[in-house]
Amino acid sequence: MIAACMRQLTLVALCALWGCACPSEPAPSERSEPPERPAPRATRSAEEQAPRAPETAQDIKPDPEGLKLPDEVDDFIRDRMRQVHLPGLTAAIVMDGRVAWTGAYGLAHIKEERRATPDTPFLMASVSKTVAAVAVMQQVEAGRIDLDQDINDLLPFRVRHPEAPRAPITPRMLMTHTSGIEDNWDVMERFYAKGDSPEPLERFLRDYLTPKGRHYRDHNFGESPPGEEHSYTNIGTALLGLLVESVTRSPFDRYCHDAIFAPLGMTRTSWMLRDLDPRQVATPYGWTGVRLQANAHYGVPDYPSGQLRSSARDMGRFLAMITREGRGPSRRVLKARTVRDMLKAQIPEIDTTQALIWGREEDGDDVLLGHEGSERGATTQMFFRLEDGLGYVLLANGSDESDEGDEDEDAQAEALTEIGTLLLEEAEQLAP
């Protein structure tokens, strides 16, 4: 088993390179669609509490990591981290339906000199949405949700597009970003909170989506009727979480723990900070253009769209389950046919890259499936090759908050793409 590749960085070295500062209160952060790949999202802080162990933990065996990458890979990763100001990064490679390698570089907390490890929980940002997709597809299998039914058949309140009040909005539209629901940041940015959000998911969405709601605005919906235009939306994914709550009669975060995280042995994963030890979670940092600024852990009420925290090893197990077409280590999480349906292009006449939440990309002859995310203090990616299931997870606790934010945010995403591409190339060469 390969030990995590740890960069010999110290607080002094980091501050000399980038500067450092003390944690600040969470500030508004727009979760926008990243370039060329599906989009991203948010963090929190809470009571210090030990993570709960999954009920099936005794059935989970350690991942037999046997892949050894050349030292040049570590050097490349460290160089790219320096260039785009990422304080910490963790990675996993999935091969043959298992986690074949994990690596960790830099720091989870600069001031404390706490190193990142493959088991350090990081904010997933919009990679979180892939978990929401699995939760919805489990309900499709159970016959509780039909992807093409009116969501008003399932919700505790009615949602209608103001420009097309007779047109139904369906779960499939929510999962393909064609519902007509928009992210209104004038409203959403006010709800970033230190720690877990005190605003319940249902109440926030009711107030945002119904005409008499406190947060209802014209800009909460687009101009096109449901089903006609692709427009990336975090609110739409949050509404999927509420659908799962409605049909299971269980809080979305608890449902995911019991039905997804526990069966996969994902013991360092939770939607809520209160279920993790905050002292072990990677601190989110923003590059100001001069130094790295620590941010307090934060949360949002529409949390199913991007607030998951997980480790590279745990997300590797999740991705391995997907590459095994739904088979977990002790039981199936999804049926094989359901996974295949989830990963198919859904709206080729509108967007050829959009599956059910998951995004599809062509890289030469290869088809890649996955998602990426960016948030205040987080840049993440998770992709795999459809042909052979070779994939990677990359989690970083940094983002750009300088005046050149959009340009540097692209640079951070591009750096992760370059690292991911290199990991796939090296893993392919070393495959038995």
Domain residues for the domain of 212 are 11-324+368-430
Task: Look at residue 338 and tell me if it is in a domain.
Answer: no
pLDDT in tens, 372-401: 999 999 999 999 999 999 999 999 999 998
Task: Look at residue 339 and tell me if it is in a domain.
Answer: no
Share of the chain above pLDDT 90, in %: 78
What total number of domains does the chain contain? Answer: 1
The pLDDT value given to residue 408 = 55
Q: What is the CATH number of the domain that holds 233?
A: 3.40.710.10
The pLDDT value given to residue 363 = 75
pLDDT above 90: residue 17: no
Task: Give this prediction's pTM.
Answer: 0.86
Name the pLDDT band for 402 (thresholds 50, 70, 90): confident
- Mean pLDDT lowest among 40-44, 77-81, 140-144: 40-44
The pLDDT value given to residue 57 = 30
Task: Look at residue 343 and tell me if it is in a domain.
Answer: no
Instruction: Tell me what the mean pLDDT of segment 172-182 comes to.
Output: 98
Instruction: Tell me what the mean pLDDT of segment 112-116 comes to.
Output: 97
The whole-angstrom separation of Cα 245 and Cα 300 is: 17
Task: Look at residue 351 and tell me if it is in a domain.
Answer: no
Q: Dihedral angle at the C-alpha atoms of 132, 340, 99, 256, nearest 10 degrees?
A: 20
User: Tokens representing 75?
Assistant: 């050097």
Name the pLDDT band for 21 (thresholds 50, 70, 90): very low
The pLDDT value given to residue 52 = 31
Select from 93, 25, 19 the least CA-distant residue to 63.
93
The pLDDT value given to residue 98 = 96
Task: Look at residue 334 and tell me if it is in a domain.
Answer: no
Instruction: Tell me what the mean pLDDT of segment 266-288 comes to.
Output: 96
Task: Look at residue 77 and tell me if it is in a domain.
Answer: yes
The pLDDT value given to residue 43 = 32
The torsion angles phi and psi of 363, rounded to 5 degrees, stand at -125, 90
The pLDDT value given to residue 46 = 31
The overall average pLDDT reported for the chain is 87
pLDDT above 60: residue 342: yes
Q: Which alpha helices (H) appear in 109-251, and where do they start and end? A: 129-141, 171-175, 185-188, 201-209, 234-248
pLDDT above 50: residue 344: yes
Instruction: Tell me what the mean pLDDT of segment 154-167 comes to.
Output: 97
DSSP 8-state symbol, 302: T
Beta-carbon count within 10 A of 421 CB: 14
The whole-angstrom separation of Cα 9 and Cα 115 is: 9
pLDDT above 60: residue 340: yes
Task: Look at residue 359 and tell me if it is in a domain.
Answer: no
The pLDDT value given to residue 430 = 85
pLDDT in tens, 26-53: 444 445 443 343 333 333 333 333 233 2
Task: Look at residue 216 and tell me if it is in a domain.
Answer: yes
